[in-house]
Structure 1
Amino acid sequence: MKFGERLKQLRQRQNLTQPEMAQAIGIEQSYLSKLENDKSVPSADMLDAILGCLNMSLQQFLSPLSATAMNSLSTIPAVKEWQSNTQYNLQRKRKIWLKIYAIAVIVGSCCIVAGSQALIFGEKSYQYVSKGIVYPGESKEVFSNWRHIYHQQMEGASDEQRDEIRQKMASKGVEMIKRENEYYLVESNYQGELFNIDVESGSRTFRLTAVKDTINRANQLLLLLGWLVLLTGLLGYINDWRLHRQP
């Protein structure tokens, strides 16, 4: 919009005729007509008088004007200062948005890598089994090594002692069969080959028995989020380049 168009628009909006507005400003009607037809450029004092008549701030008056119209008024100090401040604010906002786009690209890329490589949410399940409850004072792996203890006792023992050990071993075997009470756990994170959990009457020793591949929906959502954020950042850069590229 040109300066003259803006001036005429605001005069008509306030239901003022050219003579009425010229009288309010303190100028000839012919001069006001030249201003409205862009045949003359107002001075700094004249612009102040026009703004006072319209009861409007400089920013309100200048905002709709085109770049060409602004250049014709750039000799007025107040207009030049307003242009400088506006340009500074636009550049400042642009830098902020460029930083936001950069962060979006970085965050989106990280989410894509994390989702595709299952860095945060694992895509394996680990199955553990505990054969029974281990009583206080027993070896944590008593269900798998109790026989080994008796075999060690037999080494170097006499025939009579071995018979006694075999009897104890048979009795212990019956006891261990009765104590067997398998309990399974499936974990999404690796807990090691063995780990222990305290229970009411002792503890349970869990041994890894199987590792299975699974599909984790969290990684799929992370991938989707990553692509959305990445594309938002890239589109922001493209849009900024289109708006600010040289003609």
Structure 2
Amino acid sequence: MKFGEYLKNRRTELGWTQPDAAAKASIEQSYLSKLETGKSFPSEDVYQRLVEAFDLDTETLVGVLYPAELDRLREIEDVRKHLLQRAHDTRTATHRWLYAGLGALVAGGALVGLAQIDRGGNAMHYTYQSPGVILTGESSSVFDDLDDNPALTARADEQTIFVPEMRGPSFTENVPEGRREWHLVGANAVLIPAKFGWALVPGLALIIGGLGCFFISWRRP
């Protein structure tokens, strides 16, 4: 909006004619006409008269006038003060958006990196079985003939374990009562979920949000 247009609209709101408004501001009607048509701009003294007579709010005025109009009014101290304050506020807000964007990018990148540490996938699991605990002094084949020895049948305690690494066709494990011999009986592929897979989605969301903050800071006037 032009300054003259703003001044004329304000006069109309107050219900004044040009002669009435000129008299209240202690200026010539011809000068007020030039102000309203944009042929002239007020000096410091005239502007203060207009502020008092028209009850003008400089902050509102600065917010609605075209930049070219504000440049013509920049020599007025009150206008210049509000322009400097608005520029400061704009820089402050821009910096906040930039800091927010940077923080979001850093946090998002950290989460995406965390999600890449353990991506999961297919892995082999090996199945081992042990028929029971072999007591000290007994041979490794003590459980081979369970059907012929009721005492061994009572002791039998078959267990199955799944391990992620191959330990050969068999391996021995010491237990409090003696030892167990584990024998490989099979292997199968197992899908291992990513340990930190949950971090990928919020990480990408933060990165997108950070870029959005940079865009907002760039588009701010």
User: TM range, normalised to the smaller chain?
Assistant: 0.5 to 0.7
**Structure 1 regions of 5+ residues with no counterpart?**
132-142, 153-169, 186-206
Q: Provide the residue aligned with 1:150 in structure 2.
A: 137
Q: Per-residue CA shift, 1:60-84, capped at 9, x if unaligned?
A: 1221112111111111122212111
SS at match of 2:74: coil
Q: Provide the residue aligned with 2:91 in structure 1.
A: 91
Q: Per-residue CA shift, 1:184-213, capped at 9, x if unaligned?
A: 89xxxxxxxxxxxxxxxxxxxxx9x98832
In the aligned structure 1, how far is the partner of 2:22 from the partner of 2:201?
A: 64
Q: Provide the residue aligned with 1:236 in structure 2.
A: 213
Higher helix proportion, which one? 1
In the aligned structure 1, how far is the partner of 2:154 from the partner of 2:28?
A: 118
170, 176, 180: which is aligned to 2:155? 176
Distance 1:55 1:128, change over 3 A: farther
SS at match of 2:39: coil
Q: Provide the residue aligned with 2:32 in structure 1.
A: 32
Q: Provide the residue aligned with 1:114 in structure 2.
A: 114
In the aligned structure 2, how far is the partner of 1:64 from the partner of 1:176?
A: 94
Q: Per-residue CA shift, 1:107-149, capped at 9, x if unaligned?
A: 2222222234447xx66899899x9xxxxxxxxxxx7884152
164, 182, 191: which is aligned to 1:213? 191
Shift of residue 172 of structure 1?
6.8
SS at match of 1:63: helix
In the aligned structure 1, how far is the partner of 2:199 from the partner of 2:40?
A: 62
SS at match of 1:212: strand
> Residue 78 in 1 paired to residue 55 in 2?
no
SS at match of 1:51: helix
Shift of residue 87 of structure 1?
0.8
Higher strand proportion, which one? 2
Residues 94, 220 of structure 2: 8 Å contact kept: no
> Residue 222 in 1 paired to residue 199 in 2?
yes
Question: What letter matches 2:136 in structure 1?
Answer: I
Residues 22, 28 of structure 2: 8 Å contact kept: yes
Shift of residue 102 of structure 1?
0.9
In the aligned structure 1, how far is the partner of 2:58 from the partner of 2:151?
A: 99
TM-score w.r.t. the length of structure 1 is: 0.61
In the aligned structure 2, how far is the partner of 1:125 from the partner of 1:20?
A: 91
Q: Per-residue CA shift, 1:31-50, capped at 9, x if unaligned?
A: 11111112222122322222
Residues 126, 188 of structure 2: 8 Å contact kept: yes
Percent identical among aligned pairs is 23
Q: Provide the residue aligned with 1:191 in structure 2.
A: none
Q: Per-residue CA shift, 1:142-179, capped at 9, x if unaligned?
A: x7884152349xxxxxxxxxxxxxxxxx78744432x5
> Residue 61 in 1 paired to residue 38 in 2?
no
In the aligned structure 2, how far is the partner of 1:125 from the partner of 1:24?
A: 89
In the aligned structure 2, how far is the partner of 1:56 from the partner of 1:125?
A: 76
